[in-house]
Amino acid sequence: MVVYTYVMNKKRVTALVIVTAVVAIGVTAYLLLPRKDNKSTVDQQSQQPAQDGQNKPVEPQGFNKNMFALDNSDSPWWVVNKKRPLPAGYVPPDLGVPPVKLRLAASAEQMQYRKSATPALEELFAAAKQDGIDLVFGSGYRSEALQRQFYNSYVASDGQEAADRYSARPGTSEHQTGLSFDATASNGACHLEKCFADTPEGKWLVANAHTYGFIVRYAQGKEAITGYDYEPWHMRFVGKELAIEMHRTGVQTLEEYFNLPPAPSYN
């Protein structure tokens, strides 16, 4: 009896060990199986492409430098400098006298401006007025003939080398495009002088002109690129898109922004 009981007990222990092992293996296998809990569902959803209109990410897009042509007279991005002359005798087809404060009589040639750029000019002057800045339209369009008169007089008084630093030779002036104008103060302070940058008008233009589509065309320290001395009064219309983009990137010249060759001279 003792032997039988011992054998039976041994069989029970062995059976119990086997059952315990089987259960342990089953539990381990269950724990190792992939489970579709909340985290897995979130991960799977995050890997699926977003449906239209459902938190679709917006990809940043670069500025389109091909929006307008650089060689077309109808383009606000038309680049004219010492190495990029205008067509001989060019006259803008849409000249008119802008309804802003003028320095000269409305009948004067220089009081004309491109009609395509006039709405932006009006907006610029109106915004300045709201901020207490009384801008004056000092000089706009100049024909090739008028530019020749100015240039020849500068050469006669200062010599050609000096004149070339502050005046364009006829046929290469931005004023002839009808897209540039010289800003001045209502009291005439620093008219066509570098100190214009220190006037309330000059400071306001530097801070705000880009919002309305204008840039200071001949920036300080860029003489070797533009070919001209610093002219804080010389404003060029290029459109809001480009003016804002140049201000954002800190690029001050059209030549640099469009990777054009510098134009320090006519050679």
Coil/strand/helix, residue 110? helix
Q: Residues 214, 124: contact at Cβ < 8 Å?
A: yes
**DSSP string for residues in 8-35:** HHHHHHHHHHHHHHHHHHHHHHHHHS--
Give me the catalytic one of 231, 241, 245, 255.
Answer: 231
Tokens of 157: 């008084």
Instruction: Name the residue among 118, 132, 239 with its Cα closest to residue 181.
Output: 118
Tokens of 155: 């050469």
Angle at 144 between CA 201 and CA 170, to 5 degrees: 85
Inter-CA distances, 208 with 1, 116, 117, 205, 260, Å: 110, 20, 17, 5, 26
Has 231 been annotated as catalytic?
A: yes
Which residues are the active-site residues?
A: 231
